[in-house]
Amino acid sequence: MSGERGLAAFVRRRRVEATLRGESGMSAIEFVILTPVLFFLIFATVQFALYFFADHVAQAAAQAGARKARQEADADPGGWRAKARETSGSYIEQLGPELILDPDVTMLHPEQNTVGVEIRARVPSVFPGLDLDVYALSQGPVERFVPDGGA
């Protein structure tokens, strides 16, 4: 009980001291200064999450497209690019159609028996004027049957 009275007296004394020193209104000033900082931190967190989720979507789409390209390149040398592009586009549409803006899906054939998919896209921005791009690359050897002792 005496602790509660002591705390009330302390608060009353601090209020009187603040009034005598001219510190009235400091809470409002602190609020005005700290509110933009708080909003910036909230928006930065949202932008960070958007960027990393978009990066994961682009990487998953590139991996799925490359997997399809590796499967189809030996059996269908003329059509594997369309199938891989369709698979990558399907992943983007399923996982993040509003998150991956203007995707540029490129089929790669860097060397013999190697295929891949490269994706470049924009990420929506919470901050005006901030342009973020994601990049994903996945490539690997063409899957094909090789008989024993053959090349």
pLDDT tens for 115-135 read: 999 999 999 999 888 999 999
Per-residue pLDDT of 63-120, as tens digits, reads 999 999 999 888 888 889 999 999 999 999 998 888 899 999 999 988 888 999 999 9
3-state secondary structure 55-93: HHHHHHHHHHHHHHHHHHCCCCCCCHHHHHHHHHHHHHH
Rg (CA), the chain: 29
Establish if 85 belongs to a structural domain: yes
CA 67 vs CA 5, 40, 62, 71, 91: distances in Å: 73, 40, 8, 6, 12
Query: pTM score, two decimals?
Result: 0.74
Q: Which domain holds residue 47?
A: 31-141
Block residue for tokens 């342009």:
131
| Number of folded domains that form the chain | 1
CATH number of the domain encompassing residue 44:
3.10.450
